[in-house]
Amino acid sequence: MEHLFDQEWEIIPAGGATGEAFFAQYQEQKLFLKRNSSPFLAVLSAEGIVPKLVWTKRLENGDVITAQHWLKGRELKPHDMNSERVAKLLKKIHSSRPLLTMLERLGKEKFQPEHMLTDLETGLDFDLVSLPIVKDALRFLQGNITNMQHSDYVVCHGDVNHNNWLLSDYNQLYLIDWDGAMIADPAIDIGLLLYWYIPEEEWSNWFDIYGLPMTDSFKLRMKWYVVAQTVLSIQWHKGKARFHEMNHWIEYLHKVL
């Protein structure tokens, strides 16, 4: 990575699970670098959903390095997630034809809830499956799988946690970390956002801002994905021996069901 820049540039790892992200700084110039980002990043940048893409370079070994503006700002706090601009940016993403076209060109298949259910039925540890609340969750998911049919497939982020929303110092809102992007039911993104951050008595107002009727069908699909994602989180944390977090999501499952 260092050979892309003059010696005066300071390059430091940006952390993250993949180890493929870096910060580069020289005097007042700051860039966020990533190795082998998806071509999807260019469309996200053009749509104003992520910080501006400055350049893309292909190395001799075939790796592709992308550089984006490194913006001063902050992650959103949980209480920020009920803002009108969050709902409107999510609507912009879900309505974007360029984003959808690019994911289709990249060969992304439509995400189907049946696949998610199969992963749960076959991938859960036996001691988790034996928990009454997990049994209840699986029964709910299996009993409602026929109600998950819909025709509105859009680009979904897949992890709308408040930590993935960046508010720059010049008051521009971005949604970052698109490694889990999918073509799916918008109820995936909306369900997680509403269940995690918005009091239920305010859901109707949120749907008005987003521009979608709050139907019983949509609410059921939201709950289905939240339950499924919660069970997956329980399994993931157990696999990492993060038992405190595992128990947190077990308790959360009680609240959702």
Check if the beta carbon of residue 33 is closer than 8 Å to that of residue 66: yes
> 181 CB contacts (<8 Å, ≥6 apart)?
38, 40, 103, 108, 155, 156, 157, 158
Check if the beta carbon of residue 56 is closer than 8 Å to that of residue 66: yes
Closest to 96 in 3D by CA, of 197, 161, 36, 181: 181
Query: Which position among 80, 136, 159, 177 bears the catalytic label?
Result: 159
Active site residue 169: no
Check if the beta carbon of residue 242 is closer than 8 Å to that of residue 222: no
Task: Give φ, ψ of 108 to 5 degrees.
Answer: -70, 125
Question: What secondary structure letter does DSSP report for 39?
Answer: T
Instruction: Report the alpha-carbon angle 12-14-18, nearest 5.
Output: 120
Catalytic residues: 159
